Structure formats: structure tokens, C-alpha cells
Amino acid sequence: MTAASSSVAERIAALQTRIKELKVAKQDATAEVDEMKALKEQLGKDKKSGSGFQLKTPKGTVDHRPEATLLRKKIFHTLESIFVKYGASTIDTPVFELREILAGKYGEDSKLIYDLQDQGGELCSLRYDLTVPFARYLAMNGITSMKRYHIGKVYRRDQPVVTKGRMREFFQCDFDIAGVYDSMVPDAEVLSFLCDALTALDIGEFTVKMNHRKILDGIFELAGVPQDKTRSISSAVDKLDKMSWADVRKEMTVDKGLDPVIADKIGEYVGLKGPGWDVLKKLEADEKLMGIESAKAGLADMRLLFEYLEVFGVLDKMSFDMSLARGLDYYTGLIYEAITEFSAPPSARPTPSVPAPDAMTSSTPTSLPAKADKKAKSSDKDKAKTEDDAVDEASVGVGSIAAGGRYDNLVGMFAEAAGQKRDQVPCVGISIGVERVYSIMEMRRKNREEKIRGKETDVYVLALGGGLLKERMAFAKMLRDNGIKTEFMYKAKPKAPAQWKAADDDHVPIVAILAPAELESGTVRIKQQVGKDAAGEENKGVEVKVEEAVAYIKQRL
């Protein structure tokens, strides 16, 4: 980097710090943002002119090291085993869709869709999630019943926080049930799957927050929300896990023009949360709310759902939370999201993460601590101004680790748009965010000071007292032919310390030691390996006949 480029980079860094200070102080940072953009553009031109370029991944993306990739592979394997256990089949869809397929499906989040340049007369966008492509797939192929899972990458032009699993390119793992079935049976099945999956992933205690769009619509109708403002007000309510009620109320009244009296009426309900039966009984006792047909229907759904969740044994993991709204436009009924203690900012982290049986509250939502609150208030507004602002990671949690709900109209919407006359295909599903799950598992691993592996090697074959290269090759082949993951050093006469170090560096659990004397008698020494000085049997391992080595190692593994 030239001296001039270095000076520009330093100024950009200073501006980023200043912008962050202004945001915290709730002051206008437009001038600083504009200057920073101009300097970044200048820096880009300098790089293109031949003064060098920066080796980095695009913002919001990351290269995964072998250790991280192996852990992610285990996450995929765990989830796939649960998907299959629940009888799901899998599909794959293109990573980009026609822009009109994605347009208008995500509410205010539509601005986060990555649009691609016109190629051959088609306007396309990178897929935002796996749900809309699934609905398009059903409508396009005339499928009316399907239980499917899908693991794939999705893309969002969001403000990334890489260390917390907030990315612009990330994997989602979806589980959906499409078809006409009895009320709330598929919904209970999806929630049972979610609890099984999160338990199997061993991410610690979790809570599944749930609500119903019909109940929310009933509350809005009772409060007097104009029909054309229902979804935008719903989107504001959904921010209550990040913002104080005062700020959400301000967004409703100042930014979205809602009558303050109506906003206050909404506030009487959206602070209610707690164990399912407790909240349900309180809402059912509200005669005015029960007089609204949509609310009454939604509450009837929840009563039936709770009965099924008790059968599945997962109701204790649920929290009936009236502040949950889910901003995506396609949801029509039950909605839910899973959170852990890592979902909230550190300063607002709930303890415990799962509500106690008597933890029902009915107060208007309170503010987050000052630092987190300020960050939450400014985040959406600042996001619209610039993509280059730094994010204060200390005030950000990983967010929800899974989310979903019922979307009964999406498949029919696609069919109608294509001029097809078909019956509705009701759907319900859940999406698990792999990056956020990975972030939590990595945090827990570090807290437990567990060693991390970059390979799945089961056995390392080493030689003592001679190179024994062909013998090591033959022994490794024998193990591999029997399904045992095996490695050895690719040198004719490797030194013993180098071989031990290779096994230790990869945390290989078992070492097979070949030596001239043992081989002459037809044996090999097998040692449990946690460092070369760790205790095996008498600290030296066990001498096993070569023809019995496979069975012995498999028993040990």
C-alpha cells in the first residue's frame, strides 16, 4: 500500500470511530458517512490503477477453516438424521430465482434481497430464504402434499456481525410440511422436530417463543389499526426483542403515522408472555378480544396446539409471547422462533433462558439497558444510510437460532400468478440458522476448553525403529478397507517426534505403532492417544495380532 493509500485508510478508520460515537449520541452522521464513502471510492480507484489490492473475502462472508468446517459438517449430519427420522425427503433449488418470484414476499426485509444484473433478458435475485423457492417448486410441479427438508445457502444484504453468526452468505436448514391436514397437527410435528433438533445439537437451554398472526390481527382490529397499516405495525411490534416499547411506539406513531391512542391499546397486549396455558387463559378471559373472530380462531388453534405439544412432551420449552410478530408478509397463522441465552445482547441476556412456570408477565415491554437500547434504536435507520458502518459487536447477540410458521397462501399465490386454478396448499415449516448454531457451539466449546479437530482421522500409523514405509502403507490400506479413517506420514524414514506431533496436532484418538520386532512376530501395538505421554495400557499401548487389529480398533472407537 502506498503512503497516500495508507493515509486514506487511516482517515476512513477515524471516520468509522467518529460515526459510531455520533450514533451513540443520537447525532447526525451524514457528513461523515458521505466523506467515508468518497474516500473508499478513491481507495478503490487507487487499487484498480495498479497500486495493489486487498486479499480478503467480501463483507459478510468468511472462509471456514478445517476445524470450523468439520464442526459444521457435524451440525448438518445431526440435523439430517432428525429430518430423516421425521420422514422428510429432500430437494434442491437454484441459488438464484427470477426477481418477480421473490418480490413482495418479505415485507420490509425486501430491501435486503441481492439483485443480479440482467442476463439474457431475465432479472434474477439471489434467494433470500428456502421457503419461497419451496412454495414456487410446489406450485410449478403441481404438488399438493410433501414433507421436505432442504439444506442450502441463502443471501441477504444485512449488516453482518461475523463472530455472532450474522452473515450475508449463510446456510439454512429447513423442514416444511405441505398439504391439507387436520388443524395444528403438522404445526405440532414441526415444533416437536425443532425441539428434538436443538436438543441433539447440544446448544444448551433454549426457548421457543410463539404467537399467532390471527391473534395479532385481532388485537390490531380491536385497537383500531387501519387495514393498510396492519403489516407495517406488525413489523414494528416484532422489534420489541431489540428495542424498548417507547421506541417501538415512536416508530408506530411518528414514522408510520399511527394514532397514539391506538398504539397504547396495542401496548396493553404485546407485553404479555409466559407459559402457554397461563397466557391462553388470560386472553380467553378478555371478552372484547374474544369478540373478534380472527382472535377467537387463533386462540382456538393455540388451545389445540398446546394439547398436542403436551403429548409430544415439549410444551415446557414454549413461551406464548404476544410481542412476536415475524415481519415476513407470507405468514398466515402460527409463528415461532427459538432463542437461547446467546440470542440477546450480553447486557440484556435473560437468566434463565427458559421461562419458569410462573414467569408470565403482562406489563408493557421495558427498555433494554442503555447501550444495547441505543444500538437497537439506530440499527435499522443507519442500515439504510450505509452498508459500511461498523457494528458494535459487544452489544449484539446472535439473535434467534430458528424461526418459522404457517404460510397457507404462498403456493396458491404462485399458482394464480401463473394462471393456474388449483386448491390451496397449506404449509408450515421451520428454518434453523446454521451459522448462529455454530457460533453458540463454538462459544460453548471455548468455555469448556475442549480441543478442536480439523480431521476425522481415527488412527495414525507410525513406525519406530526403521521407516517401514511399505508396511505402514499396507496396514493403512487394511484399516481403510474396513472403514477406519487412517493416516500416516508420507516419508520413507520419518523421525519419531515428527510422527507423534502429526498425530497430536490432529488429535487422532488412536495410534498404531509398527516396529520390526513386533512385525516379525505378527503383532502391532495399539495405543489410545491424547498426547504422546498420555496413559494407555501401562503408557505403551496393547500388543495386538495384525489380523485382529481391525476388530480391536473398532471396539476402541
For the chain, the C-alpha Rg in angstroms (whole number) is: 28
Give the span between the Cα atoms of 92 and 427, in whole angstroms: 18
Phi and psi at residue 209, to the nearest 5°: -80, 140
- Residue with grid cell 451524514, as numbered in its chain: 30
Instruction: Report the pLDDT value the prediction gives residue 89, as an integer from 0 to 100.
Output: 96
Instruction: Report the pLDDT value the prediction gives residue 52, as an integer from 0 to 100.
Output: 59
Q: What cell was used for 528?
A: 489410545
Instruction: Report the pLDDT value the prediction gives residue 393, as an integer from 0 to 100.
Output: 41
Tell which residue, 351, 400, 345, has the closest CA to residue 374. Answer: 345
Instruction: Report the pLDDT value the prediction gives residue 427, as an integer from 0 to 100.
Output: 95
- 459 versus 537: which is more confidently predicted? 459
Instruction: Report the pLDDT value the prediction gives residue 4, as an integer from 0 to 100.
Output: 59
Give the span between the Cα atoms of 379 and 13, in whole angstroms: 20
Q: What cell was used for 502?
A: 502429526
Torsion on CA atoms 163, 164, 165, 166, rounded to nearest 10: -100
Q: Residue 344's pLDDT band (boundaries 50, 70, 90)?
A: low
Q: Specify the range with the lowest mean pLDDT, choosing from 140-149, 341-350, 397-406, 461-470.
A: 341-350
Given a cut of 90, is residue 429 above it in pLDDT? yes
- Residue with grid cell 474396513, as numbered in its chain: 482
Task: Return the amino acid letter for 274.
Answer: G
Count of Cβ atoms closer than 10 Å to residue 141 Cβ: 10
- Residue with grid cell 437454484, as numbered in its chain: 94
Query: First and final CA of the chain: distance in angstroms?
Result: 52
List pLDDT tens digits, range 118-172.
878 899 999 999 999 999 999 999 999 999 999 999 999 888 777 666 789 999 9
Q: Between the CA of residue 177 and those of 76, 208, 332, 408, 500, what are the distances in Å?
A: 20, 19, 15, 11, 51
Give the span between the Cα atoms of 128 and 133, in whole angstroms: 9
Average pLDDT value over all residues in the chain: 84
Q: Residue 195's pLDDT band (boundaries 50, 70, 90)?
A: very high
Q: CB-based contacts of 164: which residues, under 8 Å, 6+ apart?
A: 393, 396, 397, 398, 399, 436, 439
List pLDDT tens digits, range 283-294.
999 999 999 999
Given a cut of 70, is residue 191 above it in pLDDT? yes
Query: 352: cis peptide before it, omega within 30°?
Result: yes
**Torsion region of 204: left, alpha or beta (phi above 0 gives left; psi -120 to 50 gives alpha):** left
- 68 versus 326: which is more confidently predicted? 68
Tell which residue, 76, 120, 73, has the closest CA to residue 98. Answer: 120
Span 329-338, mean pLDDT?
Answer: 90
Q: pTM of the predicted model, to two decimals?
A: 0.75
Phi and psi at residue 539, to the nearest 5°: 65, 10
Give me the percent of the chain exceeding a pLDDT of 90.
Answer: 52
Given a cut of 60, is residue 390 above it in pLDDT? no
Given a cut of 60, is residue 510 above it in pLDDT? yes
Helices marked H in 51-154 — which ranges?
A: 66-85, 99-102, 131-141
Q: CB-based contacts of 438: which residues, under 8 Å, 6+ apart?
A: 68, 71, 72, 75, 165
Q: How do the residues of the chain divide into helix, strand and coil, expressed in percent and rounded to 5?
A: 50, 15, 35
Instruction: Report the pLDDT value the prediction gives residue 376, as an integer from 0 to 100.
Output: 40
List pLDDT tens digits, range 34-87.
888 888 887 776 665 555 567 888 888 889 889 889 889 999 999 999 999 999
Task: Return the amino acid letter for 371.
Answer: K
- 244 versus 80: which is more confidently predicted? 80
- Residue with grid cell 500409523, as numbered in its chain: 461
Instruction: Report the pLDDT value the prediction gives residue 349, as an integer from 0 to 100.
Output: 42
List pLDDT tens digits, range 264-283.
999 999 889 999 999 999 99
Span 384-392, mean pLDDT?
Answer: 39
Return the SS3 of 346. Answer: helix
Instruction: Report the pLDDT value the prediction gives residue 107, as an integer from 0 to 100.
Output: 74
Return the SS3 of 87. Answer: coil
Span 390-414, mean pLDDT?
Answer: 75
Given a cut of 90, is residue 514 above it in pLDDT? yes
Give me the percent of the chain exceeding a pLDDT of 70.
Answer: 84
